[in-house]
Amino acid sequence: MSIGLGHWLAVALGGGLGAMGRLWVVHQVNRLQGGHFPWGTLTVNAVGSFIIGLAFVFFAIKHTDLSSGWRSFLIVGVLGAFTTFSSFALESLVLLQEHHYLSAALYMAGSVLICLMAVALGFGAGKLIF
């Protein structure tokens, strides 16, 4: 199966929007929270996990007739750029290197557990809404 130009453009546009959204949210949350704990990244990963749960139900279960271009735009583009697992990994490493072991452990465990719960909540909400 080849990927058409429309999908590439949908992912590119969605990715630009998602990256800008991530920058804004991370900046706003970190500005409010301060400190060395990466609250902004945790926030975008949790919000993105919730939204991907909703989107999965919407596109894969309830509205399978919608264009796969819309799925590519939202899930691969917007949410792929909005969530920041690579940033999570880097920030975890930095916390460890700076000997913030408790913060690192809480951040790593919290990210996994909170995002898993958020995607489950999004999935459940999607089943109720859509």
CB 73 within 8 A of CB 62: no
Q: What is the pLDDT of residue 1?
A: 64
Counting every residue, how long is the chain?
Answer: 130
CB 18 within 8 A of CB 80: yes
Which residues are annotated binding-site positions for Na(+)?
Answer: 80, 83
Q: What is the pLDDT of residue 61?
A: 79
CA distance 45 to 85: 7
Task: Tally the domains of the chain.
Answer: 1
Three-state secondary structure call for residue 123: helix
Which residues are annotated binding-site positions?
Answer: 80, 83
* Domain housing 46: 5-129
Q: What is the pLDDT along the chain (130 residues), one digit of tens a residue?
A: 688 899 999 999 999 999 999 999 999 999 999 888 999 999 999 999 999 889 888 888 787 777 788 888 998 899 999 998 888 998 999 999 999 999 999 999 999 999 999 999 999 999 999 8
Handedness of CA 19, 52, 30, 91 (dihedral sign): negative
